Every structure is written in C-alpha cells, then in structure tokens.
Structure 1
C-alpha cells in the first residue's frame, strides 16, 4: 500500500474525518472484509443483504485498522462519506494516479480469468515489481482491495474484471483504466443473470472499449464473439489462439503423461519453446494471452517463454494437482465451474489417470439459466466419453441430471445432496492410487473436501 494520510484519503474520496488524526497514515490493505484487516490498514464498512459492515467497525479497529470508511460516525476513527462503495472506488482511482508509470492490465472472460491473471502476473514479474494478488477479487468491491496492494515501486498491476450485468466492467474501467485489456472467451457463466451470450459479449467488450489508442486489446481469435470485439476499440488489436490467423499462437502442442502441455510459441517477435508446469492442455490459450500481454511491454521472447515455463499455480482451487500422503492424486479445480471448464477438467482427469482409476466429484454449475439442464446432461455425456470410472455428483437436481446422463452411458455413478454426504461416499469408495477430480460451483463447497483429501486427512473424521 502507498502510505496515505487520513487527510489525503478524505480529500480523495470526498469524505469528512470523525474521531481521527488527519496526519495518521494508512500503510496496509484497504479491505471490506473485517476478517482480513491488517495493522495499518483501512476498513470499508459496506452495507450488505445479510449484514452491515458498520457493525464490525470496532472489531476492525481492534485488529489494527487505522480508520474506517463509513457512512456515519461510529465512535472510532472514521472517514464519513455518503456512499462507501463509491468512495472505495474513488480511493482506488487515487492510488493508481499516484503511480503514473504503472502499467495496468485488465483481464475478463467467462472462463479462465484468474489463471490468466496469475500467469500474466508471473510473466510481468520478470520485467519488474508486479501487483497481481491471488484469488479473484474482481467486482466493484473486490477490485479496489487489489488496487490497494500497489506499492511505490510497482511497475505493473494486473486486475481481473468480472461482470454480472452490462455496465459492470465499464464501471471498473472508469475507476482504473487499463493500458492492456484481455478478453478470453464468451461462454455461459452467469447466463441466468445476463439472459443471452450476446449480452455477455456486450459486457465483456466494455473492457476493450475503455482502452486508449496507445494501448492493446488482446483478443481470442478462436472465439468469434471475442474476435468481433476488434471493432469496438481504438487500441491496437493483438490476437491469440491455436489457429494460423492468430498474432500470438501455439504450434506443435504436445501433452505429457502428467497432463502438462508444451508447444512452440509463435509471435511477430519470433518463436520459442514453452513447457508449462500447469496441468491441462486447455491452459495453452491462457498462456498465449499472457505472452501477448507481455509483448506489449517487451520484445524479449526468451524471457517470456522462460517465465511461462516456470509459472506455477497461484490461486487455490484452479487445477491444483497434489499427491496426497494417503496415496491419492487430487485435482482441486473446485473454485467454480461451467460447461467449458468442466469438460476441460474431465479430459485432464482421464489423461492424468493414464490407467489408474479416474474419479470425478462434480457439483452443480450455477447461474446457467434456461440451458442449465441441457448443460449438465452434456457434461454427463462428456464424463462417459472421456472414460471416467466412477462419478459422484453433489448438490441439486441439475447435478443429479448430470449423473443420470453419465449412468445412461455406462459410468458407475452415485448422487448425494451435499458435501457431508460426499465425504461419507468417498470414504467408502476411494482406494489408494485413485486420481480424484473435484469441480463444481463454489457454493457446493467441494474445495474444502479436496483440500482435506489432498492433506491425507481421514475422511471418516470431521
């Protein structure tokens, strides 16, 4: 965090100080989550549907926060504003303005934002100090928290930008304007919120609309709805993909017995060999996007290829492969799920199993709208097609439909209603040597179960 006095913060957000020393400094994280407040930080009291952040103000101060950004005086050091969320956004704008040389990269898409952000962060770190926090704080409340991690020597800032409505990304880019914008794909995530893929494309394209003429729009040439966004930006357009027409592309892709891909990275700056440490052939386009971003800042292709080849998983629950002390290989891809990522994960599972028993633990995929049933049935068919040996579905009727589709095609299947029942079923069924994939929407809670199994903890105990 850039050190800022309370007087400077109040001026930036249009607030007034109450019970606070104007010269006191905020030197730590600016967060809306009272559980992660750190000494020297700032706590943002956001109103919520179930709880009001103002109720945790005293707790935040006791945890070390210097001040609370609040909508009313609270009897603790506070900067009072009319709208705390809007003020939080203005604070993010002010922080970035204090580092004028900062190169900002925005990443959006229906699938793969976090992994791509993590890859970009690791590649750009080879060029200079880079702020690219793990996880996916990508909303109007989460993005400012990530911005607050910028330091005086930060050269790059990589931000994930999510959307549930048209206009969400336009708002985020109005707070922090990227120099480079990456659009990965237009899928069906949050289709229930948007209503159509066309609306999703409209929302995702707001990122490239925000770019300046000297910026770069990095677009997936293999996704027609993304490629069409080239006409929506004043920036230079750089495409990535597997096809010959892509500016940055992968040639001669090979996958080894551990599920890791290697390829020739072909770019206008030349070609280089890349061997990913990340598991899954489907992550090759993510790596290409990261390379395309890096090429905006450097023409050192050897450095880019080396950084991609050494990049490791950063954010929890995204294709993390762990050898459990109990003898299982655990693939923790349980942070979230959609039809495309489910399909990719299942293909990786059976590739990695390579003769061992392939077990898939799949929760429902939420927010798919009218296509939800068909999407779940389709994933069940994929499970059979790729050769899953045993399938455990967890959650609602959509998850059960997925299991029935697989069972009709010959896959041994069981359905349970929740994570606790899944734990019991796995304790009965798993054997050393099994390769076990966990994937589903985050609300199903499979990530905790994957973590437990990966640690070698006995599933029969709580």
Structure 2
C-alpha cells in the first residue's frame, strides 16, 4: 500500500482511531493490507474480518506479533496494537482500496483492466498480467482473489510506480461486480462469457448475463469494452458500452472479430492456431492445454492491444506461459501416466471443454480416464447438467469414467444409462476409495483428467495421483 498516516486511514474508513505504543496520528503505514494474519510483515495493516467459521478479531495478537502496525476492527481488542474501529471492516477495506487507487491514478499513468465471465477469469488475468509485466509494474490478483475481500486486497498492492492494475471480478449475487468494479472504474472492461457457472445463485442465465454486464456499466465512459463476439449475450453488451460512449473491441473465432483465431490444432503439448489482429496473421502455440484457452488468450491480446502492446509482442509473451494456474489444466505425473489436474473450478461449460480436451490429446494406444466430481452452485439445473456431462463423457468415448462423491452420483447414473458398462463407469463415495482404485487401475499410456468444483476438493486427489505417477 502507498504510505498513509494513521489519521488519513481513519478519515478514509470513517473509523475511531485508538493509538497504542509509540504511534501517533502522524505515524505512516505503508505495508501489506490483508485479512490473513499469516501474511503480515512489519508495518502491515490487519483487517479483522468476522467469518462463519472463525473471527479475525481472535488473530489480532498474531498479526501484532508478525509486525502489524494497525488493526482495522469492528470492536475494540485488548492487544497492544493501534486500531481503527469501524462498523463494517469489509466496507472499510473497500473504502481504503478506492482511495488508494484514486490517489495513484491521479498522480501518474495507472491503467486499470477489469475481467469477468462465467469461466476463464483467472487464466485471462494471468495471461494479461504476463503480457503487461514486460511493459511496466503490473499488479494482478493472487490465485482467484476476485471477491469482496480479494479484489480490494489486490487493489491495495498498487504503488506510485504501478502502471497496470488487472482486477478479476467474480460475483456471488447481483450487484457484486458493480460494487467491486465501482471502486476503481476500469479503463478496460473484459467480458469473457456467460455460462451456467453460479447460475443457480442468480436465477438463470439471463440474470447471470445482466450481472456480468455490470462491469461494462461500471467502466469509465471514455474506456473500452473487450467483448467475446462468439457469445451472443456478451456481444449484446456492446450496445450498453456504446451508449456510454465507450469503444468496443471484439474477440473470438468469428471472422467478424477484431482479434480472431482460426485453424486450431489441439495436442498434448498445447494448442496452436493463427491469430488475426490489426491486419496481421500470426501463429500462436499456447502451451496451456485446451482449445478453450485460446479464447482467453484472444481476450488478453485484445486488451493488451488497447494498452498499446502489439499482437506479435503479446503472442511471444503468451508462448512462455506453461500453465494457466495451479489446478487449472495442470499437467502432472509423467509421460507414462499423464494426470491433468483441473479441479479448482467446474461448470457445465468448463467440464465439457476439459472432457473434449482429454479426448483430443489422447493418441492411439492410449486410454482416456476421467475422474469427475460434482459441479456446484447450479441451482435447479444441477440434475440435468450432471446428466448432460455423463452423456457427453460416454459419447466422447472416455474409456474409464470414475465418479466421486454423492453429489455427482447422477452423473454416474447418466453414464450408465447412456451405455457405459463393464466397469467403464464406476462410482466411489469419497476420494480415498477412488485413490485406492486408481492406484492399481491406472497403467502406462493413460491420460487422466481430474475435474470438479473447488468445494468438492478433487484437486487434492489430483495432486496425490500426480505424485504417485511422477
């Protein structure tokens, strides 16, 4: 965080400053701001967030021991630490992020990119951050820091030397993206796709589309919307952007896209294609597995182009990226038994894309194995969407379908109903049982996909398999 006095911070968050030790109102703080006491270093600000399982106020002492200079709290704590008492620490965190970004923006040439979409946010964020890092200091979220805590914490990492802030915006309800993006008013709004991920929490896909459009509505009127022309709901957001005076740059595989890809070829070493941008035809070999990541690459190239980075430079930098993120199409194991651990998140769209990738990268004499868990937050559509994935796995001729956990049992039943038999589809109630089966079932030449929503935790099963067959 930029240097601010304790008095300035208290004024920004509208809190009651209570000094401790040798601190005065003029004492300057410029360290990390976080809700996790384990991330504290000398001079940090600890935000004591109450939670469903634990309360951050219990860890103020740990934060102080690690060097925290200030705690933002909702009630006074006994620890000998300077504290600012506020009604709501999450609101205070947002207020502080808004002020810090505004000061940096006013003092220099900070450009802000906001990214949202039902799938692909983190991958696109990582792609764009890699491209922009060679242009100047770039701040981007760690992992999937895209919620009411993660987004402001990321924003607070900017300094007066930062040239680019890449923010990822998730949503757990209508209005979430509007609130988070409204803190910084991005110069560029990137919308990737509207899918069934989290649709249960929004009341359907049209409500999901409206929620994603909040990013375009929150962007600067003189800014740019970077939109996926292949998704009709996203493409329709161009009308909203133009009504606000924004420029629109499209990406996709359509020949109408400003930045487009064609001649896709998917192999076990990645995906190749030809990129058309700014009148140039340029080859791209993306080492990240899966044709669906080409769309994320196109979005990153398009956004970087708005910021003045040539397509050729963007492509050269993208070709250095080996994995999108841990647990996202992450190759593990060995050439003998290749594990693809993609179990950080799962939606019907990403599950389908991962299964198709598994089928595409498996060669003659090799066997496809899909280890699948439940897709969360689908609401009333959960049953039919799990049915659809079971059918797809069979129709793609996935040779072993290993379903884990009671929430995914309907996927298993659907696969059986579609004609998977003779142990081609098998169900296990938990990860340990699945691991015991797979450790003896997997053989040389197997290509194994592990896929589920984050809450199911199959990523840990993927790690165990990756280590076993490394």
Q: Normalised by the size of structure 2, how large is the TM-score?
A: 0.92
Contact 1:123 1:304 in 2 (8 A): yes
Is the alpha carbon distance of 1:220 and 1:173 closer, same or farther for their aligned partners in structure 2, counting shifts above 3 Å? same
Contact 1:259 1:280 in 2 (8 A): no
Q: 1:207 aligns to what?
A: 215
3-state SS of paired residue (2:287): strand
1:184 Cα deviation after fit: 0.7
Instruction: State the Cα deviation string for residues 376-398 of structure 1 (Å, max 9, x = none).
Output: 1111111112221111111224x
Is the alpha carbon distance of 1:26 and 1:321 closer, same or farther for their aligned partners in structure 2, counting shifts above 3 Å? farther
Contact 1:33 1:43 in 2 (8 A): yes
Indicate yes or no: 2:34 matched with 1:31: yes
Q: Distance in 2 between matches of 1:3 and 1:448?
A: 40
Q: Distance in 1 between matches of 2:309 and 2:163?
A: 17
Indicate yes or no: 2:89 matched with 1:89: no
Any residues of structure 2 matched to 1:153-232 within 5 Å, and which? Answer: 153-232=161-240
Q: 2:466 aligns to what?
A: 454
Q: Distance in 2 between matches of 1:38 and 1:384?
A: 52
Contact 2:141 2:150 in 1 (8 A): no
Indicate yes or no: 2:266 matched with 1:263: no
Contact 1:337 1:439 in 2 (8 A): yes
> Which one is further off, 23-32 or 173-182?
23-32
Q: 1:117 aligns to what?
A: 125
Q: Given the alignment, which residue of 382, 403, 417 partners 1:393?
A: 403
Contact 2:35 2:56 in 1 (8 A): yes
Instruction: State the Cα deviation string for residues 89-146 of structure 1 (Å, max 9, x = none).
Output: 0111122123212111111011111111111111111221111133111111111111
Q: 1:323 aligns to what?
A: 333
Q: Given the alignment, which residue of 287, 291, 294 partners 1:281?
A: 291
1:259 Cα deviation after fit: 5.0
Q: Distance in 1 between matches of 2:322 and 2:139?
A: 16
Q: 1:62 aligns to what?
A: 65
1:28 Cα deviation after fit: 3.1
1:440 Cα deviation after fit: 0.4
Instruction: State the Cα deviation string for residues 38-64 of structure 1 (Å, max 9, x = none).
Output: 443221111222322212211222222
Q: Distance in 1 between matches of 2:42 and 2:147?
A: 24
Q: Normalised by the size of structure 1, how large is the TM-score?
A: 0.94
Indicate yes or no: 2:277 matched with 1:272: no
Figure out how many residues of one structure are paired with residues of the other and give that number. 455
3-state SS of paired residue (1:370): helix
Any residues of structure 2 matched to 1:298-309 within 5 Å, and which? Answer: 298=308, 300-309=310-319
3-state SS of paired residue (1:345): helix
Contact 1:259 1:351 in 2 (8 A): no
Q: 1:415 aligns to what?
A: 427
Indicate yes or no: 2:18 matched with 1:18: yes
Q: 1:338 aligns to what?
A: 347
Indicate yes or no: 2:6 matched with 1:3: no
Q: Distance in 1 between matches of 2:374 and 2:29?
A: 42
3-state SS of paired residue (2:210): helix
Q: Given the alignment, which residue of 83, 96, 104 partners 1:99?
A: 104
Structure 1: 5+ residue stretches without partners = none
Contact 2:333 2:465 in 1 (8 A): no
1:419 Cα deviation after fit: 2.1
Q: 1:74 aligns to what?
A: 77
1:72 Cα deviation after fit: 1.7
Q: Distance in 1 between matches of 2:144 and 2:75?
A: 30
> Which one is further off, 335-344 or 263-272?
263-272
Contact 2:225 2:249 in 1 (8 A): yes
3-state SS of paired residue (1:264): strand
Q: Distance in 1 between matches of 2:47 and 2:253?
A: 44
1:19 Cα deviation after fit: 3.2
Contact 1:259 1:348 in 2 (8 A): no
Contact 1:25 1:66 in 2 (8 A): no
1:427 Cα deviation after fit: 2.3
Instruction: State the Cα deviation string for residues 255-296 of structure 1 (Å, max 9, x = none).
Output: 2x3151122211235332211111111111111000110111
> Which one is further off, 201-210 or 272-281?
272-281
Indicate yes or no: 2:356 matched with 1:347: yes
Structure 2: 5+ residue stretches without partners = none
Contact 1:324 1:455 in 2 (8 A): no
